[in-house]
Structure 1
Amino acid sequence: MNGSAVTPVVAGVSGSAAGSRAVEMAAREAAVRGLPLRLVHALQYRHGVIDQARQAGDLLRQARETALATAPGLWTTVELVEGDPVTGLLRLSRQAALTVLGDGSLGEQVCLPREATTVQVAARAFSTVLVVRAPAAPQGPVLVGVSGSTMSGAVLARACEAAAGRAVGLDVVHVGEVSQRVRVLEDVITSRALAYGVGVRFDVVAGDPAAVLRQRSREASLVVVGARGELPYHGLLGSVSQALLHHARGPVLVVRASRSAPIRRAAALVGLF
């Protein structure tokens, strides 16, 4: 395979425990999709620090070994970029099928740091972004929260694809009241999940959406949310998406609809928070 001619999965290499886990998950995602993996480390030179380039090279070599141990035979390249990691990852996300990075210990922060690399890349990348935690993910279902508003079906498609790949169910939660629109939404989601061979649980519950989904995310193997706005660099994360990025126990997939496979709008009823 000529890796340079195929859209890769891009993974940020940080040397942290979450970063190492991200490399593993990126290798699996690339192998499943038959895509090459590009491992990237951003080097910001600091005055007085010796052998920074060598240390960065060691990180990339270790990451490549981790990737190949996870997915033997995977076409894997490494790249060292100079400068701000946000700038580097956003640039590379233009040509990425998926961008994967560690969470930067977001769960240990009292408040979500808006300027953190993970938050900036998740909100502004051109591609869908997978944010990975250091601890192993739970073995539960894939979780999606829906509001009933209209959007591209990319979030639902990604959630069904992920559930099928993990051989787990789909947990869909609507926080609000039962209505005719919600019943139609349930029918559409059930039909789409069945097409992927995925079992689905659809719940309508009362409460604060962020609190409800944060609680449900404790057992989820993956949480799927959407980035608000079709334009990268101007993309935003809704308040519930921010809460899940901050507190969800497992990995969070932030779907950029404009870079996902098109879904017919007739089935586009998954809501963004």
Structure 2
Amino acid sequence: MSAPTVTPVVAGVSGSAASLRAVETAAREAGTRGLPLRLVHALRYRHGVIDQARSAGGLLREARDIALATAPGLWTTVELIEGDPVTGLLRLSRRAALTVIGDGSLDGHVCLPREATAVQVAARAYGAVQVVRGEAAPVGPVLAGISGPASAAPVLEHAFAAAAAQGVDLHVVHAGESTHRLRALADVIASRAYACGVVARLDVVSGDPVAVLRRRSRDASLVVVGARGELPYHGLLGSVTQTLLHHARGPVVVVRAPRTAPMRRVAELAGLT
């Protein structure tokens, strides 16, 4: 029987506590979406490669067991990829519905280590990336950060789906002035909330968006943000997203619009033009 050709959820496996939580998260996401799960471990060949391969095989078998315990019956494949984990995960992200990885203890650093695998993949992946912590996430709402109309559509799509799947409220935060477009955004949120059966609210707040979202993220079960606000270009992360990757207590999803989608089209998808 051949493997399904549909887009998978990809999870990076390293053996850390955060990585194993990432496997659980990826399995739940794949099960909810009706997608296969692809578990991958990067192997850099050095002296003692046979021992390395055996260890990697053990990690992948453990990850597969965790995935199937989380989502029984889930179509799950395991794969060893050669070389740098960032390079391998970026390649796989081209066809992934979602890439899920552990955070590599980002909050244990004084400054965000930009060379870290989680940061590099979140910044450069071709689709959505979920960065998972080693500790359990807080019990709270999904938090979505919106910087403007152009970045709203993909962030809201993911945030509403997550809130509906978890059965929690959605808090959408915009730091800035209230405008006609933001009033239109509030209407879009209300309409989508009704359709999804999610209790959602839009808070337009004053002050530095980095400080506002960092503070509110402390009680969020999941944070959803764009890669770079109104400039979601491949390979960049904005200051808000960098701060949340560093300091949010729970998992963070970094989403971006498809690279081929014009900015005007993204706004249209959000119902803002």
- Structure 1: segments with no counterpart, 5+ residues: none
Measured in 2, the distance between the counterparts of 1:205 and 1:160 equals: 21
SS of equivalent residue, structure 1 residue 130: strand
The 8 Å contact of residues 101 and 131 in structure 1, kept in 2 or not, is answered as yes
The 8 Å contact of residues 154 and 260 in structure 1, kept in 2 or not, is answered as no
Q: Measured at CA, do residues 25 and 174 of structure 1 come closer, stay the same or move farther in structure 2, by a change above 3 Å?
A: same
RMSD: 2.3
> Which residue does 1:167 correspond to in 2?
167
Q: Deviations over 1:7-36 (max 9, x none)?
A: 111100010000000000001111111111
> Which residue does 2:132 correspond to in 1?
132
> Which residue does 2:78 correspond to in 1?
78
The 8 Å contact of residues 155 and 224 in structure 2, kept in 1 or not, is answered as yes
The aligned amino acid for 2:237 is L
SS of equivalent residue, structure 1 residue 135: coil
CA offset at residue 247 of structure 1? 0.7
CA offset at residue 95 of structure 1? 1.4
The 8 Å contact of residues 9 and 30 in structure 2, kept in 1 or not, is answered as yes
CA offset at residue 219 of structure 1? 0.9
5 Å-filtered alignment, 1:41-190, equals 41-47=41-47, 51-151=51-151, 153-190=153-190
Q: Measured at CA, do residues 261 and 4 of structure 1 come closer, stay the same or move farther in structure 2, by a change above 3 Å?
A: farther
Q: Measured at CA, do residues 170 and 259 of structure 1 come closer, stay the same or move farther in structure 2, by a change above 3 Å?
A: farther
The 8 Å contact of residues 150 and 266 in structure 2, kept in 1 or not, is answered as no
Q: Percent identity?
A: 71
Measured in 2, the distance between the counterparts of 1:261 and 1:33 equals: 23
Q: Measured at CA, do residues 9 and 206 of structure 1 come closer, stay the same or move farther in structure 2, by a change above 3 Å?
A: same
Moved more, 157-166 or 45-54: 45-54
- Structure 2: segments with no counterpart, 5+ residues: none
Report how many aligned residue pairs link the two structures: 268
Q: Measured at CA, do residues 91 and 190 of structure 1 come closer, stay the same or move farther in structure 2, by a change above 3 Å?
A: same
Moved more, 161-170 or 186-195: 186-195
The aligned amino acid for 1:19 is S
The aligned amino acid for 2:217 is S
The 8 Å contact of residues 6 and 35 in structure 1, kept in 2 or not, is answered as yes
The 8 Å contact of residues 152 and 269 in structure 1, kept in 2 or not, is answered as no
> Which residue does 2:35 correspond to in 1?
35
CA offset at residue 205 of structure 1? 2.0
The 8 Å contact of residues 18 and 133 in structure 1, kept in 2 or not, is answered as yes
Q: Deviations over 1:75-129 (max 9, x none)?
A: 1110001100000101111111111100111111111111111111111111211
